């Protein structure tokens, strides 16, 4: 029998441990599944242990998952690592705690960490995480979930193959009552990094009015839209690739991505996309969308991320959302704050290290 990887989840709120409603399985189900449910569902992983500081969270876990009586329950993460020896650890706590828990997992003998986004609240923390994982030969995957959405994944492969020519400009627009830069905007800014495949070089930005005091991200979990601003930013990547991020807290919900290349343009509304290209006999545009709705994926979103980790643990291979890419996204988020502090002027990346 193939090896079963033992999984542990630390942080048991909804995204950590919610149980999807019965009958909601299948590739196309909307986001909203949890780390625990994905480990339960994946045939090569077994839930070995969970951890949360709060007894209420542990009680809720027992009530939600009465069919998992064998899962070890801990309040002390260090104790969990020492006693349960998980192979894969999901870090699903508030963002300011990701670093300490990821480093502890990497040094415990675990072989992979699947960490929630954004990777951390400071670049110093992100660097500690990446270094600890590299030092210990541990895979580090960050849950910028859209990277495992089949349509985005397929489209990114098309762009990276060069089939559309060089990437020139990108844009994301982010609307909704919860269009908060750190909580949700991180997913969309990450798409800019994913599709450009390039290092960010500078940022010019403006935050939501009333957020001049917001000079540092504290990683408080982002529950309250009043505590996390919307923003607009112009972002320069290497090779003069230019991108815009534009968000506003509206009643209307949308996430829109465009990627314009020399020979074509991708347009996505949420995860539904189309490709515009020039025909060979003139300026007429043709639209193809079928290729952007691939049907042969076994798993998507977090389950896709876990499937990818299982494959990489078995056979090696690159990850779709490694810690190093998530660090680029964090650098842009922090660059937005730095530009706001500078009167919306251009801020060059990499940012100077604070030593904090
Ligand atoms: N990928 C997605 O679509 C998505 C969606 C929602 C949230 N998230 C991310 O998930 C993470 C959790 O978000 P949240 O809003 O549930 O956070 P939260 O702060 O509300 O809850 C995190 C849980 O972690 C526990 N915890 C904190 N420190 C701990 C420690 N040292 N040991 C054990 N348990 C500890 C807390 O008690 C709490 O139950 C964040 O990084 C967030 O950005 C991602």
Mean pLDDT, residues 181-190 taken together: 96
Under 8 Å between Cβ of 266 and 169: no
Inform me whether the pLDDT recorded for 187 exceeds 70: yes
Atom number, ligand 1, closest to the C-alpha of residue 14: 16
CATH class, domain 147-297+329-348, is alpha beta
Q: Which of 133, 141, 132, 153 is nearest to 312 (CA)?
A: 141
What's residue 290's pLDDT? 56
Q: Which residues contact 243 (CB under 8 A, 6 or more apart)?
A: 169, 170, 171, 172, 192, 196, 234, 235, 236, 237
Mean pLDDT, residues 287-314 taken together: 82
**Lowest mean pLDDT: which of 10-14, 237-241, 346-350, 351-355?**
351-355
User: What strands lie across the sheet with 112-115, from one edge to the other?
Assistant: 72-74, 45-51, 5-10, 88-91, 112-115, 139-142
Token readout for 151 is 């349509």
Residues with CB under 6 A from ligand 1: 10-13, 15, 31, 51-54, 57, 77, 92-95, 97, 116-117, 143, 145, 221, 223
Inform me whether the pLDDT recorded for 38 exceeds 90: yes
Query: pLDDT category, 297, cuts 50, 70, 90?
Result: confident
Q: Where are the domains of the chain?
A: 5-145+299-320, 147-297+329-348
Which among 12, 15, 100 is the best mutation to test ligand 1's pocket, defined by most ligand atoms within 8 Å of the CB? 15
Atom number, ligand 1, closest to the C-alpha of residue 12: 39
Q: Fold for domain 5-145+299-320? A: Rossmann fold (3.40.50)
Inform me whether the pLDDT recorded for 24 exceeds 80: no
**Lowest mean pLDDT: which of 48-52, 113-117, 288-292?**
288-292
Residue 87 Cα to ligand 1 midpoint, Å, equals 20
Inform me whether the pLDDT recorded for 171 exceeds 70: yes
Mean pLDDT, residues 59-68 taken together: 97
Mean pLDDT, residues 184-195 taken together: 97
Inform me whether the pLDDT recorded for 30 exceeds 70: no
Inform me whether the pLDDT recorded for 167 exceeds 60: yes
Residue 56 Cα to ligand 1 midpoint, Å, equals 14
- Taking the C-alpha atoms of residue 289 and residue 7, their distance in angstroms, rounded to an integer, is 37
Atom number, ligand 1, closest to the C-alpha of residue 143: 1
Residue 40 Cα to ligand 1 midpoint, Å, equals 19
Atom number, ligand 1, closest to the C-alpha of residue 54: 37
Residue 81 Cα to ligand 1 midpoint, Å, equals 18
* Residue pLDDT, tens place only, 215-263: 999 997 678 999 999 999 999 999 999 999 999 999 999 999 999 999 9
Atom number, ligand 1, closest to the C-alpha of residue 223: 15
What's residue 270's pLDDT? 82
Mean pLDDT, residues 55-71 taken together: 97
Query: pLDDT category, 1, cuts 50, 70, 90?
Result: low
Q: Which residues contact 41 (CB under 8 A, 6 or more apart)?
A: 25, 303
Query: pLDDT category, 277, cuts 50, 70, 90?
Result: confident
Inform me whether the pLDDT recorded for 86 exceeds 90: yes
Inform me whether the pLDDT recorded for 336 exceeds 80: yes
Q: Whose CA is nearest to atom 43 of ligand 1?
A: 117
Q: Whose CA is nearest to atom 27 of ligand 1?
A: 93
Q: Which of 56, 61, 58, 260 is nearest to 170 (CA)?
A: 260
285 vs 118, which has greater pLDDT? 118
């Amino acid at each position: 029998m193939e090896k079963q990887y033992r999984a542990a989840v630390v942080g048991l709120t909804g995204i950590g441990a919610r149980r999807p409603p019965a009958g909601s399985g299948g590739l196309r189900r909307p986001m909203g599944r949890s780390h625990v449910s994905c480990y339960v569902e994946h045939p090569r992983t077994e839930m070995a242990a969970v951890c949360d500081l709060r007894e209420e969270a542990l009680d809720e876990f027992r009530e939600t998952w009465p069919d998992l009586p064998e899962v070890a329950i801990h309040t002390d993460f260090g104790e969990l690592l020492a006693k349960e020896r998980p192979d894969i650890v999901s870090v699903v706590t508030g963002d300011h705690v990701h670093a300490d828990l990821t480093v502890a997992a990497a040094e415990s003998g675990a072989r992979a960490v699947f960490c929630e986004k954004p990777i951390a609240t400071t670049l110093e923390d992100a660097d500690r995480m990446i270094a600890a994982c590299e030092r210990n030969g541990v895979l580090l995957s960050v849950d910028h979930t859209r990277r495992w959405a089949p349509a985005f994944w397929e489209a990114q492969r098309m762009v990276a193959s060069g089939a559309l020519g060089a990437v020139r400009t990108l844009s994301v627009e982010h609307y909704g009552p919860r269009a908060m830069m750190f909580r949700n905007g991180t997913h969309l800014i990450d798409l800019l990094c994913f599709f450009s495949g390039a290092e960010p070089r500078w940022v010019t930005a403006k935050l939501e009015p009333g957020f001049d005091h917001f000079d540092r991200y504290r990683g408080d979990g982002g529950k309250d839209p009043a505590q996390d601003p919307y923003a607009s930013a112009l972002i320069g990547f290497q090779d003069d690739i230019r991108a815009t991020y534009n968000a506003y807290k509206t009643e209307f919900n949308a996430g829109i991505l465009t990627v314009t290349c020399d020979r074509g343009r991708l347009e996505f509304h949420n995860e539904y996309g189309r490709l515009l290209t020039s025909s060979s006999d003139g300026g007429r545009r043709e639209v193809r969308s079928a290729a952007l709705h691939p049907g042969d994926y076994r798993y998507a979103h977090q389950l896709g991320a876990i499937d990818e980790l299982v494959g990489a643990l078995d056979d090696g291979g690159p990850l779709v959302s490694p810690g190093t890419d998530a660090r680029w996204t964090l650098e842009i988020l922090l660059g937005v704050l730095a530009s706001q502090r500078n009167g919306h002027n251009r801020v060059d990346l990499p940012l100077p290290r604070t030593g904090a």
